[in-house]
Chain A
Amino acid sequence: MEQQQEVVKGASLWRDAWKRLLKNKLAVFGLAVMIIMIVAVTVGPAIIRWTTGYTYDFIPPDGDLIKSFPPSLQHPMGTDDSGRDILARVLQGGRISLMVGVISTLVSLMVGVSYGATAGYLGGKIDNFMMRVVDIIYAIPYILLVIVLLSAFGGQNAPGWIQSISSALGSGQGLSQIILLFFALGLVSWLTMARVVRGQILSLKNQEFVMAARATGVSTPAIIFRHLVPNALGPVIVYATLTIPSVMLSEAFLSFLGIGVQAPFASWGSLAADGIKNISVFPWQLIFPGVTMALTLFSLNFLGDGLRDALDPQTRKF
């Protein structure tokens, strides 16, 4: 019956949750790191440019300076093989990685959760059909799909409407690449989420509170989204926080295929991939991007856990 109460006191649910979140020290820590990180990647590149003059793509004209220098006052994180400031690259890469991680995870949440919940609740033939569609999409070779997408929509071969979107947004090729990237990541990131949610719903849908809701004439969408989904929220949030790192890393792979981030832009994934090659010679090339990324993911995770606990109406009883 507590479910019903929640619907009624919807407004205070969020305020309650926020209060509970603030009581969780780890979540607050995660939140603080995330805020600092977002501020840093937003204004950081401009500050560096203003103080030291370095940008993510500045390669010194002097051949002697085009090599990897260890961290120094001038370059707090050192430089990469091309003599570029790693701090500037980490901050610029953070923009892309955070955006990719968050947007793709939101897509995976929205599509995956509603798809999986619907299939799980409706069951029978519909469930069977919906999950077979997921199976098929899962089985189609992803790389091939990306290659075709890229040749059909990438760059100069892009059909007019894609180009007009990106030119309307004012950044030519760069943006159409990013849009393609989100599309490519979104295509698959929801599949496992859908399976996870469906599994949860299957086990929840025969519980008493659902039967009660059905008996009182609550509509199907309302049962799914107001009653079932909130109760499956634990695994969903955990899985979503798990999706972020995997999406960030998929991005590095897609960049390799030519989709997503074009050089000289970088992302945390691509910085780590470049850094690991030189780990035994220039360890700072991996350490700094790696630690930044790990710290961010840790924080996101604490925040996610905190959010789940805060949103979970039953936590109070423990």
Chain B
Amino acid sequence: MLSYIIRRLIIIIPMALLVVTVTWILIRMAPGSFYSSEKKLPPAVEANIKKKYGLDKPVLQQYGILMGNIVRGDFGDSLKYEGQSVNEIIRRHFPYSATIGILAYLLALAVGLTAGIVAALKQNSAFDYGSMSLAMLGLSVPNFVLGPILVLIFSLWLFWLPPARWGGASSLILPVITLSAIYAAYIARLTRAGMLEVMRSDYIRTARAKGLSEWKVLLKHAVRGGLIPVVSFTGPALAALLAGAVVVEKVFAIPGLGNIFIQSIFNRDEPLTLGIVAFLSILIMVFNLLVDVSYAFLDPRIRYE
């Protein structure tokens, strides 16, 4: 197991570099550049800009310099936000996204797991139908609709909570609820499905046959196995949540990393895009590793050699 984890950790760095390289190629293929704007630049001005940012060098040389710096952990300065380094921007904005993301995920986990497990145990009951319909509602109301509706009710009609912007715990409530809705719905439905699947399997029957109490069967065996689909979903979902949720950040004007990442792509801000991509790919791979490791804990039959 340990050697498996170590092997997986070692491979993360070269994989992240591979992702960065592919991204770099894509950026260079995309039309437009960071300095293009409404006004067409005179050739002299364009030449000055190219020279200043080393874009007049041969492409392969540019790539070499870039990778050399990245390997040393230096992503350079943003092209759009003059004088700000990429590392600094990530450090500054990640905490916002992470706060919202973790809170939303915890809320989603609490609501989703409870609803999913109870619904599975009481299959075809009113609770089952009710909670699953609610989950479906959570899924079919996009967060760009849910957010503004919550704002309308709680900020503009009741004046209870601020409509947008970061500041104090009260400003977190609406974005966290908005963000968690869809994940709670996913988790509820996946948990229910996974639980139903497990409850039918032989080992639960065996456990029951052994005369274990229903609670013990449930907690010790069923939940563990039933969680596998949820866990599979959690890896990418949590990474995406931590990386920032673009829509929620926009609706609530939160200075998170997600929006900055999207903007960096639209701005063709190469260093910033590459920096965030590297950061996110490491995040994703670490989470997926955690997921794979937790499989083994949830289900003793899963083994990594």
Contact string, A195-229, partner B, CB cutoff 8 A, digits 1/0?
11011101100111000000000000000000000
Kindly provide the distance from the CB of B23 to the nearest chain A CB, expressed in whole angstroms: 6
Q: Is the interface of B mostly helix, strand, loop or mixed?
A: helix
Which of A206, A249, A297 has the most chain B CB within a 10 Å cutoff?
A249
Contact code string B130-150 (vs A, CB < 8 Å = 1, else 0) = 001100110111101100110
Instruction: Assess whether B301 is in contact with A207, with CB atoms less than 8 Å apart.
Output: yes
Residue among B141, B149, B200, B229 making CB contact with A196, cutoff 8 Å? B229
Does residue A131 face the partner (Cβ distance < 8 Å to B)?
yes
CA gap between A239 and B299 in the complex, in Å: 21
- Near B by CB (< 8 A), chain A positions 65-87 give none
Given A141-B277, A199-B228, are A192 and B193 also a contact pair (CB < 8 Å)?
no
**Do the beta carbons of B233 and A192 come within 8 Å of each other?**
yes
The stretch from B55-63, B207-215, B278-286 touching chain A is B278-286
Chain B contacts for A286, CB-based, 8 A: 145
B-facing mask of A75-112, CB < 8 A → 1, else 0? 00000000000000000000000000000000000000
Q: Does chain B have a CB within 8 A of A148?
A: yes
User: Is A279's CB within 8 Å of the partner chain B?
Assistant: yes
Contact A203 B301 (CB under 8 A): yes
Does B30 interact with chain A (Cβ within 8 Å)?
A: yes
Cβ–Cβ contact A235 & B193, under 8 A: yes
Q: Which of B22, B152, B228 contacts A140 (CB 8 A)?
A: B22
Say how far A62's CB is from chain B's closest CB, in angstroms: 31
- Kindly specify which of A12-20, A48-56, A268-276 makes contact with the partner chain: A268-276
Bound-state CA distance A200–B141 (Å) is 28
* B176 interface contact, C-beta 8 A: no
Say whether A318 faces chain B, with CB atoms less than 8 Å apart: yes
B285 to chain A, nearest CB (A): 5
Indicate whether A43 reaches chain B with its CB closer than 8 angstroms: no
Q: Does B273 contact A (CB under 8 A)?
A: yes
Assembled-state Cα–Cα distance A160/B281 (Å): 35
Q: A131 vs B304: C-alpha distance in the bound complex, in angstroms?
A: 14
The interface bits of chain A over 278-295 (1 if a CB of B lies within 8 angstroms of the residue's CB, else 0) are 011000001000100110
Q: Which 3 A-B pairs have the closest CB atoms?
A: A139-B281, A199-B232, A297-B140
Residues of chain B at the chain A interface (Cβ within 8 Å): 8, 11, 15-16, 18-19, 22-23, 26-27, 29-31, 129, 132-133, 136-137, 139-142, 144-145, 148-149, 152, 156, 186, 189-190, 192-194, 196-197, 200-202, 225, 228-229, 231-233, 235-236, 261-262, 265-266, 273, 277, 280-281, 284-285, 288, 291-292, 295, 298-299, 301-303, 305
A-B contact pairs, 11 of them (CB 8 A): A131-B292, A139-B284, A140-B22, A147-B31, A196-B190, A199-B295, A202-B302, A238-B193, A239-B190, A242-B190, A286-B145
